[in-house]
Amino acid sequence: SNHRVIVDMDQSLGVATIKIKNPPVNSLSLELLTEFLIGWEKLENDKSCKGVILTSNYPKIFSAGLDILEMCGKNAAHYTEYWKAVQELWLKLYMSNMVVIAAINGSSPAGGCLLALTSDYRVMADNPKYTIGLNETLLGIVAPFWFKDNLVNTIGNRASEQALQLGLLFSPAEALKIGLVDQLVPEDKVQSTALSVMSQWLKIPDHARQLTKTMMRKPTADLLLKQREADIDNFVRFISRDGIQKSLHMYLKALKERKE
Q: What amino acid positions are annotated as catalytic residues?
A: 66, 111, 135-136
230 binds ligand CO8, rule: CB under 6 A: no
E strands, 11-163, are 15-20, 27-28, 51-56, 60-61, 65-66, 99-104, 106-109, 121-125, 132-133
Q: How far is the CB of 111 from ligand CO8 (least distance, A)?
A: 3
Q: How far is the CB of 32 from ligand CO8 (least distance, A)?
A: 11
Give the whole-angstrom CA distance, residue 61 versus residue 48: 30
Q: DSSP letter for 123, please.
A: E
CB 163 within 8 A of CB 133: yes
- Select 56 or 193, whichever has its Cβ closest to ligand CO8: 56
Q: How far is the CB of 98 from ligand CO8 (least distance, A)?
A: 24
User: Could you tell me which of 89, 175, 77, 80 has the C-alpha nearest to residue 125?
Assistant: 175
- Select 49 or 82, whichever has its Cβ closest to ligand CO8: 82
- Cα angle, residue 204 at apex, residues 209 and 146 outer, rounded to 5°: 35
- Select 51 or 144, whichever has its Cβ closest to ligand CO8: 144
Q: DSSP letter for 170, please.
A: B
Instruction: Count residues near ligand CO8 (CB under 6 A).
Output: 27
Binding-site member from 5, 15, 20, 25 for ligand CO8 (CB under 6 A): 25
User: Among residue numbers 123 through 182, which ones bind ligand CO8 (CB under 6 A)?
Assistant: 135-136, 139, 141-142, 144
Binding-site member from 238, 240, 245, 247 for ligand CO8 (CB under 6 A): 238
Buried b (16+ CB within 10 A) or exposed e, 116-142: bbbbbbbbbbbbeebbbbbbbebbebe
Which residue ranges make up the site for ligand CO8 (CB under 6 A)? 24-25, 27, 61, 64-69, 107, 109-111, 135-136, 139, 141-142, 144, 235, 238-239, 252, 255-256, 259
